[in-house]
Amino acid sequence: MKSYHLDHLDYLETEAIHIMREVAAEFERPAILFSGGKDSICLLRLAEKAFRPSDIPLPFLNVATGHEFPELLEFRDRRAKELGAKLIVRSVDEALEKGLAVQAPGQISRNQLQIPVLLSAIEEFRFDCCIGGARRDEEKARAKERFFSFRDSFGQWDPKNQRPEIWNLYNGRLNPGENMRVFPLSNWTEMDVWEYIKREKLEVPSIYFSHQRRCVRRGGQWVPDTKLMPAKANEEVKELIVRVRTIGDIISTGCVESPAATCDDIIAEIAAARVTERGSRADDRVSEAAMEDRKKAGYF
Amino acid sequence: MTVTHHPVDLLRFNTCGSVDDGKSTLIGRLLYDSKSLMEDQIEALERSADITGGGQINLANLTDGLRAEREQGITIDVAYRYFATPHRKFIIADTPGHVQYTRNMVTGASTANLSIILVDARQGVIEQSRRHAIIASLLRIPHLVVAINKMDLVDWSEERFLEIKDQFEEFLPRLDIKDVKFIPVSALQGDNIVTLSAHTPWYPGPTLLGHLETVHIASDWNLSNFRFPVQWVNRPNNPTDHTLHDFRGLSGQIAGGIVRVGQKVMILPSGFSSTIKQIWTLDGLQEEAFSPQSVTLVLEHDLDISRGDVIVDAEDLPGASSDLHAKICWMNPRPLTPGKQYLIKHTNQTVKASVTAIEHRINISTLEKEDGITELAMNDLGEIRLKTAKPLIYDGYAINRLTGSFILIEPGTNTTVAAGMLLPPTEVARPEYRDFAI
Ligand SMILES: Nc1nc2c(ncn2[C@@H]2O[C@H](COP(=O)(O)OP(=O)(O)O)[C@@H](O)[C@H]2O)c(=O)[nH]1
Ligand SMILES: [Mg+2]
């Protein structure tokens, strides 16, 4: 007899498709945040699952730091084209020029500077909802996040005053100026993401797989050696066989030494991994509450 | 984390109990002992232990992610955690014990297959334990585990364990929970969490994790009554593939039962009949699909169907009414008062509703129904009557958690103010409801 029972990936998938369709049905001007990273690649697949054979009824929005891995940009543009979607790119460079964002003295990483760029893009296009690929397992403050995460008219998140989220009934109602962030992958882990990429045979940017790269030792991790922040004389530089687990601003994205060349290798590596994926991002290690503070200020 | 080479299923559970019963410690222990913790997480724990804990690792810090929680040493909001064993994947909702956060407990429990209620062995069953068991029962969580914690502080006494079990079993018959398991544990020291404890030779097992890995959850979804609330009308715009020119699909998540190609269905509230022509998915056409899969249905007839309509088995109709009777948990600081207008979100539609009467409040210590109530305050549980602007197509919550549940939203502030569970319908949907179609 046939078993009418979903395995864990099917369950996570149907939950996410349901959420995508709720967004398309309940918001007037929703968008999908697409960075070209592995989580947002899964989001796009889920959008296909939710809306085909129709066109995906949401434009893709990318907030570019200007410090991207080149492989990521190429992939982002190509994937959006393949899916026949409208891709909107707003960049930190542009925002710095216009004075919308200001670099703090000594601040080189641009992850923080994405906040004003995102908020002004939301205003420019009057987006009332942005679907993001954040997962609760990434970080402690994210673990408290709702699927439908309400933001006030300043784009801020108030963790103490979140709407209760019960069953699969999402309350997406907003007053003018307010905004919703929606995270269909909330319940996915890093492992689920890779198992899904494998199952769905999704292409991901090559930097997720093992490659040779000149790296510099900084803050207890290897980061790419780039012209943006050249290695100082006292810093150790090495040619290594590495891959990235999570992609941010190129100068603060940790590279892990790895021979993993396929999805299967990565899945085996994660299974044996002894540090979390965010353990390789310097921006989260600033303080115990680093992510909470960024989120309150309007980060993804 | 463990690699899983075969499909594994997913168990969702929440932990509840009073403040300091050890919920956060228990979750930390499950993560730690199942080797789901990573070095940087352990290091972060050790770092904060050196600063604040006098060198003692605090497992609770793993889940208490917000600054205010760490400072006050309490859990404010639901925190979700993930771990896996070779047998199952788990999603944990760590729900707070403070009375003022009961709404979060309801949130965490609403999607759970199983609830763990922690009881401090020194204190025994207290009002909060009862309240949480009642919420679990109201929400129809199929499985309950009563973890009697801090056994190390009562000398691992079997007598004490049995005493607490008796206290709990005394009020169980009044609840609607079929499967209850009692397990003596020490979350702090790890006894009976992953391995059986030498301290409790009188306890035959299973361990908490052993139970979580094996409890039978296959029948937790309704597979008997086909229900399909239409979520989104799928109509390609100028498709390049001309076979799609007349494609009119109805997308949604199956909220109950099984659907097959060729099945006779009725569309409610209009009452029109049709037959399932295709079950469309990105992975190809399917012969059948079941709850809670998300699919796109194509019908034989081109009917006017929109979001909020429900497609059901023609032989097995749900209830339909604009006069509703429900149990609710009130979640807002401003009390519920009869006569006030709200919005009700039920499956995929949101309509106006007013509360016509509060029938009674449920006393959560005695489970008695208290009459003559004029308002329900935050965290109160009660039974109410509602009138909606349009009939709802629904089932009793006991039969179907998805077509039997709703939320109330306060217009203006847009906050979610109540979680509701519908009592069984008294009127079955009839084609005459065509009159109500807009
Ligand atoms: N002796 C003992 N102490 C425990 C046990 N479980 C938890 N505790 C302690 O009880 C206190 C409250 O624990 P916590 O996990 O924060 O409780 P919560 O409020 O339910 O999340 C902490 O000091 C824990 O170390 C146990 O099994 N034995
Ligand atoms: Mg706690």
The answer to whether residues A280 and A219 touch, using CB atoms and an 8 Å cutoff, is no
Question: Which residue's structure tokens are 């939950």?
Answer: A15
Strand ranges (E), chain A? 30-33, 60-64, 87-91, 129-131, 148-151, 179-182, 211-218, 221-224, 237-244, 255-257
Assess whether pLDDT exceeds 90 at residue B432: no
Please tell me the least confidently modeled range out of B63-77, B152-166, B237-251, B390-404: B63-77
The domain total for chain A is 2
Give the closest residue (by CA) to ligand 1 atom 28. B150
Alpha helices in B139-194 (DSSP H): 158-171
Is B20 a pocket residue for ligand 1 (Cβ < 6 Å)? yes
Identify whether the C-beta of residue A159 lies closer than 8 Å to the C-beta of residue A299.
no
- Average pLDDT (B185-209) is 96
Do A174 and A25 share a structural domain? Answer: yes
B43 against A247, higher pLDDT = A247
CATH architecture for residues B9-214? 3-Layer(aba) Sandwich (3.40)
- Tell me which residue in A49, A165, A274 faces B38 most closely, judged by beta carbons: A274
Q: How far apart are CA B437 and CA B82, in angstroms?
A: 44
Judged by a CB distance cut-off of 8 A, whether residue A191 touches chain B is: yes
Instruction: List the single range of A24-33, B40-49, B303-312, B344-353 with lowest mean pLDDT.
Output: B40-49
**Mean pLDDT over the full length of chain B:** 87
Q: How does pLDDT run across A128-153, given as a tens digit for each residue?
A: 999 999 999 887 778 878 999 999 88
B190 Cβ inside 6 Å of ligand 1: no
Q: Is A25 on the interface with B (CB under 8 A)?
A: yes
Which residues 160-189 on chain B approach chain A with CB closer than 8 angstroms? Answer: none
Is the separation of the CB atoms in B92 and B34 below 8 Å?
Answer: no
Per-residue pLDDT, B228: 98
Same-domain status, A23 and A146? yes
Query: pLDDT value at position A95?
Result: 85
Q: Which atom of ligand 1 is nearest to the CA of B187?
A: 27
Nearest CA of chain A to the CA of B300: how many Å? 18
Q: Does the domain spanning B319-422 belong to CATH 2.40.30.10?
A: yes
Residue B264 has pLDDT above 60, yes or no: yes
The ipTM of this complex is 0.91
Coil, helix or strand at residue B280: strand
- Note whether B149 and B197 are within 8 A (CB): no
State the pLDDT confidence band at A113, using cuts at 50, 70 and 90.
confident
Q: Are residues A34 and A142 in the same domain?
A: yes
- Are residues A216 and A177 part of one domain? no
CA distance A9 to chain B (A): 8
At A185-195, the pLDDT tens digits run 999 999 999 99
Please report residues of A whose CB lies closer than 8 A to that of B280: 53
Residues 6 or more apart whose Cβ sits within 8 Å of residue B212: B11, B13, B88, B90, B114
| % of chain A at pLDDT higher than 70 | 90
**Ligand 1 atom with least separation from CA of B59:** 15
Instruction: Tell me which amino acid residue A107 is.
Output: Q
Check which CATH number belongs to the domain holding A121 and give it: 3.40.50.620
The two tokens of residue A157 are: 């998140």
* Cβ contact A137:B90 at 8 Å: no
The region, left, alpha or beta by phi > 0 then psi within -120 to 50, assigned to residue B113 is alpha
| Residue B22 in contact with ligand 1 by CB distance below 6 A | yes
Q: Pick from A161, A191, A221: which residue ends a domain? A: A191
Per-residue pLDDT for B289 more than 90?
Answer: yes
- Same domain? For A168 and A240 the reply is no
CA angle B213, B215, B216 (to 5 degrees): 125
The whole domain housing A246 covers: 209-295
Angle between helices A8-26 and A38-51 (to 10 degrees): 70
Confidence at B158, pLDDT banded by 50, 70, 90: very high
Write b or e for each residue in A119-155: b if 16 or more Cβ atoms lie within 10 A of its Cβ, otherwise e: bbbbeeeebbbbbbbbbbbbbbbbbbbbbbbbbeeeb
Residues of chain A numbered 257-296 and touching chain B (CB < 8 Å): 267-268, 270-271, 273-276, 278-279, 288-289, 292
Taking the alpha carbons at both ends of chain A, their separation in whole angstroms is 45
Mean pLDDT of B177-203: 95
Residue A217 within a domain: yes
Of B249, B294, B345, which is closest to A14 when you measure between CB atoms?
A: B294
| Structure confidence by residue, pLDDT tens digits, B51-89 | 444 445 566 666 555 555 555 554 456 778 898 888 899
Give, for ligand 1, the residue of B101, B188, B208 to mutate: max count of ligand atoms closer than 8 Å to Cβ: B188
Asked if the domains at B9-214 and B227-313 fall in one CATH topology, the answer is: no
CATH class of B227-313: mainly beta
Identify whether the C-beta of residue B331 lies closer than 8 Å to the C-beta of residue A161. no
Indicate the residue type of B339: G
- Residue B437: pLDDT band by 50, 70, 90 thresholds? very low
Q: Say yes or no to pLDDT of A27 above 60.
A: yes
Residues A82 and A145 in one domain: yes
Report domain extents, chain B. 9-214, 227-313, 319-422
Tell me the pLDDT band of A286, cut-offs 50, 70 and 90. very low
Contact A174/A44 with Cβ under 8 angstroms?
no
Residue B93 has pLDDT above 70, yes or no: yes
Is A137 within 8 Å of B82 when comparing Cβ atoms? yes
Distance CA B269, CA B337 (A): 30
8 Å CB contact between A30 and A128: yes
Smallest CA-to-CA distance from B383 within B322, B321, B328 is with: B328
B222: which residues sit within 8 A by CB, 6+ positions away? B255, B256, B257, B291, B399, B400, B401, B402
Q: Which residues of A touch B89 (CB under 8 A)?
A: 8, 192
Q: What is the pLDDT of residue A287?
A: 43
**Residues A25 and A142 occupy one common structural domain:** yes
pLDDT for res A154: 84
